[in-house]
Structures are given as C-alpha cells and as structure tokens.
Structure 1
C-alpha cells in the first residue's frame, strides 16, 4: 500500500470516529506533512482521495473542511434488513415499535401488489432513531397466510432474522421502487423532519425463494441523512456490425 493511501485511511478513521468533526478544518498540508513525515505532494494525494470519497471539501483560502458523513448507504439491488445495515455500517440507532397488529391490507397497497384488499396482514410500523431523531419510518405488511404469528419482540428486533432463523423460511427476492414524495401527515407526526416537505420512499414486494409473496414494505427516509448506492460496471458495447 502506498504511503498516501495509509495516510488517507488514518485520516478517514479520524473523521469516522469524530476526532475531526463536521465543519472543522483539517490541519494544513504543512502540518500534516510534518505529522506523517512525508512530502506535501504525498499529503495532497491523500487529501484528493478524501475529497473523492466525500469526506472533505476544499475551500479556497481556508483549506480542507470536513463534511457531514452521517449518511448511511442503502443498496439499491440488495435485499438487506435494517438490522444488518445497522451492524455493517455501525449505525448507532434505536428502533421504536409504533404498531404491530393484524388488519386487512390497505387498498392502495393491495392495488400495488395486485391482490385482494381483504387480505389479512400483520401491519408493522417502526421508527428508526439516529441521534435521538426519527429519520426513517418503516411500514411493513406481512401476509398472515405465510407468517402466522409475529411477536412484538421479534417485530422490534429484526423481521428477517425471525422469518429465516425462527420460522425456517428462505427469503428470495424483491421488486423495488424508489421515489421522492411529499411528506404525509403521518410522516410529519412520526418523523423528525425539521420542516422538510419531501421524503425518499422505497417500496418493495418481497417473495420467498419458492416465489410466494409474503411482504410489502415501505421505508420513508429523511432526505438529509441517507443515500442509496449501487456498484455499476460498464459493459463493452455490442458490435452491431457483425
């Protein structure tokens, strides 16, 4: 590993553990070169990596300003529970179970899934608190024909862990929709929006490995805290002249 990459990782660690806090300036290139006993050119390369990774912003006449990196990456194509993301990305959060009861499927969701609105489901609403603020509202509807029982303890902890480990079912795939929508009355009541007028919404219909539909999930995210990411690789263009 190159020396500038080692320095990048060291400063990255200091930003993540908030030795350098959002809005603060990093030490000058001269101070960093003395600290790491390297040339200023090596420091510039490390700072370029930090810039490209979204950790800092260069400001003329000031230096390198640390950016707010309290955004959590939610994969577009993956099928991952919030609990798994929380552990993988070291998100310090609290889950509040707002509702867990049996009811019939709301008509608009039944239309989305193309099933009868009389379908019985476990309706689960959970708030995800980060730094004391509710920044995600998760709404899940699980078909009682597949998930017979759903204790509050399991609903609060991890639905997918309960479904796979306790019930022995294999979750297969999901069809997802991503959209930005105006915040609803429910969003404003249950989330900490600071006056935001819109939220990012993901809707998924989730199937078991044998293709059985068992869940509709809707996650409503505050705009400033989360980003959705995907790794994309360009494929060689097709030769249409063959």
Structure 2
C-alpha cells in the first residue's frame, strides 16, 4: 500500500503542476503540510517529491523547499530516432505539419558534402513547419538521396515520411549521427516559425543511415528556444 500511496501523491501533485495550480517558480507546500494534507508519513511524501525531482518537475532547495520548474517545454529525445508524428503522439497535444516545399533538386556544394552525393545525383528537398497547439515551433529541412527514396508526395510529407519509408518501401532506418548547436535565426526561420521575439533557435543536425550504413538523409531541425528541452539517458561505465 505504501508504494501505491506515494505514487498516488506523486500523480496528484503532478496533475496540479500540469494544470497550473502550482505554477513555475512557485513553492510547493512544506513536507509537514503535505503530511497533514495527505494523511501519510514523511517518508512517503519524500518519495513522491523525489520522484517529481527526478522527472524534472521540481527542484528541491535546502532551506527553501521544493520549487516548481518550467514544464511548458516538450521533451525531445537526443539519443533516439523519432519522427514528428511519433513525438506528437507522445506529447498528446494538437499538432499538424505544414509543407512548404517538396521538390527534387540538384545538390549544392554544401549538400554534396552533407549527403555524400555528386552533381549527377538528385535530392528530395522537404521544408516543413511543425505546429503544436497552434504555434509553429519547429522548422524541419530534410534532404533525401533519391537513390534510396525514389518518390515523395506532399501528402506523405504532411503525414510521416518515416512511416512511408518503413511501411510502404520497406526501408530499414538504422542509426544517426547528431550535432546540436544554438544558431541565430535566419530569414527562413522568421518566415516559417512563430518566433515570439526569440533571436536564436536550437538546431539539431541529423545524418541518418540505413542498416547497411548508407547515408540517405540529412536534416536540419530548428527548434524555438523556449519550447523544448533535449533529454538523454547516460550511465557511467565503471572501469
């Protein structure tokens, strides 16, 4: 019952944080107050608070109590390969994809280097804004080597390119190399994103490979600064 009790308290406090009853920067009731409120032991309250802290919802500060952190950001997994459709389903917020470009192009010098292609090759260029809760907060610039992706349509790009590649074409997407930086907003960012005055974006550059180690995709995914936190899991190796 103790296990169920602390999880019940955790979920209740989490619900109050997500629903704005406890807002970012506010202090949660003290441990003594929570003990009285929930009619339980201090140990059970501490287990619930520790879980909130571990999941990034509060910061426990000695002498000050538990401060609510900003939870208006969406978790973006750094180490995984996830499509926007999969991310949107996980977030559970109203979302849509706006396709601005879906064209076959000849690669410029920069793209030749990124995709390991030549002037004789053709590349799919796909420019899409990702809208969550009515705001365009991600600009995805995708480039696919036509050798591996023979055809694309706007309808596919509005839904999920990865779903089409894996389920329709049977392509096996395996791994990616990622680079993350904070860059100044470009004119393209200003045109296609709702920047809300932000002058920089977080850029995730992906080099995506098939299971035979063929490089088939290069992507620049440009995120509004205030809307995402980039998360990963790391385990220390003991020598």
Per the shorter chain, which TM-score range?
0.7 to 0.9
How far residue 220 of structure 1 moved from its aligned partner, in angstroms, is: 0.5
Asked whether the equivalents of residues 178 and 205 of structure 2 are also in contact (C-alpha less than 8 Å), the reply is yes
Give, in whole Å, the separation in 2 of the partners of 1:98 and 1:118: 25
| 1:212-237 deviation digits (Å, cap 9, x = unpaired) | 32211110111111122211111112
**Among 141, 148, 151, the residue aligned to 2:150:** 148
* Structure 1 residue aligned with 2:5: 3
SS, match of residue 49 in structure 2: helix
Asked whether the equivalents of residues 104 and 121 of structure 1 are also in contact (C-alpha less than 8 Å), the reply is yes
**Among 181, 184, 191, the residue aligned to 2:183:** 181
Give, in whole Å, the separation in 2 of the partners of 1:201 and 1:118: 29
Q: Cα gap change, 1:56/1:234 in structure 2, threshold over 3 Å: closer, same or farther?
A: closer
1:70 aligns with 2:72: yes
* Structure 1 residue aligned with 2:48: 46
* Structure 2 residue aligned with 1:90: 92
Give, in whole Å, the separation in 1 of the partners of 2:120 and 2:206: 20
Asked whether the equivalents of residues 141 and 215 of structure 1 are also in contact (C-alpha less than 8 Å), the reply is yes
Structure 1 alignment gaps of length 5 or more:
238-242
Q: Cα gap change, 1:17/1:165 in structure 2, threshold over 3 Å: closer, same or farther?
A: farther
TM-score by length of 1: 0.84
* Map 1:17-56 → 2, pairs under 5 A: 17-18=19-20, 20-22=22-24, 26=28, 32-39=34-41, 42-56=44-58
* Structure 2 residue aligned with 1:220: 222
Q: Cα gap change, 1:171/1:61 in structure 2, threshold over 3 Å: closer, same or farther?
A: closer
| 1:25-81 deviation digits (Å, cap 9, x = unpaired) | 655656543442224564354334324432235689997554331222222222111
Give, in whole Å, the separation in 1 of the partners of 2:237 and 2:31: 39
* Map 1:159-170 → 2, pairs under 5 A: 159-170=161-172
Give, in whole Å, the separation in 2 of the partners of 1:118 and 1:175: 25
Asked whether the equivalents of residues 105 and 141 of structure 1 are also in contact (C-alpha less than 8 Å), the reply is no
Give, in whole Å, the separation in 1 of the partners of 2:91 and 2:19: 13
- Comparing 148-157 with 63-72, greater Cα deviation is found at 63-72
Asked whether the equivalents of residues 93 and 133 of structure 2 are also in contact (C-alpha less than 8 Å), the reply is no
| 1:164-196 deviation digits (Å, cap 9, x = unpaired) | 111121112222211221111111221122222
Give, in whole Å, the separation in 2 of the partners of 1:139 and 1:207: 17
Give, in whole Å, the separation in 2 of the partners of 1:92 and 1:29: 36
How far residue 17 of structure 1 moved from its aligned partner, in angstroms, is: 4.9
* Structure 2 residue aligned with 1:128: 130
Q: Cα gap change, 1:25/1:92 in structure 2, threshold over 3 Å: closer, same or farther?
A: farther
Aligned Cα root-mean-square deviation (Å) = 2.7
Give, in whole Å, the separation in 1 of the partners of 2:78 and 2:62: 36
Give, in whole Å, the separation in 2 of the partners of 1:59 and 1:208: 46
